[in-house]
């Protein structure tokens, strides 16, 4: 009986020892798991998965930029730069035709000045492309193609040496200016959105010059060209009125 009790006590003692050892081992493993960053609860697991998802998303963005795949907004911005770069180059070819066709020296001079400005605009855009790490290149712009064709049609349809031609040329030129103002204005804001502050400043300089040119053309038209062009026209409705009066 004593022997049996002794054996039982020994067995219990051994189990207790093993339990303690297991507990200590478990505690040690738990501590190691925590130190290793393993989740200790369902909530921790959820938080960890969220964190890992965010990290993966950031890595994807970084990887996308590293591999040369821009964001949708950046791609649109780059495409618009190509459009306006093409447009400015086309205007360098078109403006001399407007200058030659103009009647008054004031309008000829305005077109000549804007040609020099346009050449500067091209150089600024090339600088922007360089700052973005890209080769300057144009993409055919249907808008400017249509506007330059319209200007050529106006030259063909108006009488040389008349104020009417100058009035029409100013309207054609201002249509181009309004296209450029809209384009550069949008690019300035997109550059600010993407935190391209220096590029935004460069584009804003061009924007202000386009606005000044538009204002100058308006002043030339309103100061004397539109008034003198009126004297060249025998309005159809006036002819009809005169015919009724003398009938």
Q: What is the mean pLDDT of the chain?
A: 80
Burial class, 225, CB count within 10 angstroms (exposed 0-12 / middle 13-18 / buried 19+): buried
At the topology level, CATH places domain 70-237 in Ferritin (1.20.1260)
pLDDT tens-digit profile of 166-176? Answer: 999 999 999 99
Rg of the chain over CA atoms, in angstroms? 38
pLDDT tens-digit profile of 56-71? Answer: 443 444 344 445 566 8
pTM of the predicted model as reported, rounded to 2 decimal places = 0.68
pLDDT tens-digit profile of 85-134? Answer: 999 999 999 999 999 999 999 999 999 999 999 999 999 999 999 999 99
* Neighbour tally for 206: CB within 10 Å: 25
DSSP of 66-84: HTT---HHHHHHHHHHHHH
| pLDDT for the residue 242 | 58
Alpha-carbon distance of 35 to 27, in angstroms, equals: 12
pLDDT tens-digit profile of 15-65? Answer: 445 544 444 444 444 444 444 444 455 555 445 555 555 444 434 443 444
pLDDT tens-digit profile of 71-91? Answer: 899 999 999 999 999 999 999
pLDDT tens-digit profile of 212-233? Answer: 999 999 999 999 999 998 876 6
Query: String of b and e for 6-25 (b: at least 16 CB within 10 Å)?
Result: eeeeeeeeeeeeeeeeeeee
Domain residue ranges of the chain, discontinuous segments joined by +? 2-63, 70-237
Alpha-carbon distance of 81 to 138, in angstroms, equals: 8
Any idea which residue has 């009125």 for tokens?
Answer: 241
């Amino acid at each position: 009986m004593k022997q049996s009790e002794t054996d039982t006590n020994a067995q219990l003692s051994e189990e207790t020892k093993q339990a303690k050892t297991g507990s200590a081992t478990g505690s040690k493993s738990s501590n190691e798991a925590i130190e290793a960053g393993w989740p200790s609860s369902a909530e921790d697991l959820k938080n960890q998965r969220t964190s890992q998802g965010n990290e993966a998303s950031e890595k994807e963005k970084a990887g996308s930029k590293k591999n040369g795949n821009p964001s949708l907004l950046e791609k649109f911005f780059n495409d618009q730069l190509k459009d306006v770069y093409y447009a400015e180059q086309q205007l360098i070819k078109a403006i001399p035709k407007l200058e030659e066709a103009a009647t008054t020296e004031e309008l000829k001079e305005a077109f000549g000045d804007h040609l020099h400005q346009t050449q500067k605009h091209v150089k600024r855009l090339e600088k922007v492309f360089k700052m973005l790490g890209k080769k300057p290149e144009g993409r055919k712009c249907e808008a400017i193609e249509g506007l330059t064709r319209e200007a050529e049609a106006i030259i063909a349809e108006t009488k040389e040496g008349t104020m009417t031609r100058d009035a029409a040329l100013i309207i054609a030129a201002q249509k181009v200016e309004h296209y450029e103002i809209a384009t550069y204005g949008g690019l300035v804001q997109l550059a600010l959105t993407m935190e391209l502050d220096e590029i935004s400043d460069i584009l804003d300089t061009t924007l202000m010059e386009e606005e000044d040119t538009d204002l100058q053309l308006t002043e030339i038209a309103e100061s004397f060209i539109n008034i003198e062009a009126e004297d060249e026209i025998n309005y159809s409705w006036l002819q009809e009125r005169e015919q009724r009066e003398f009938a």
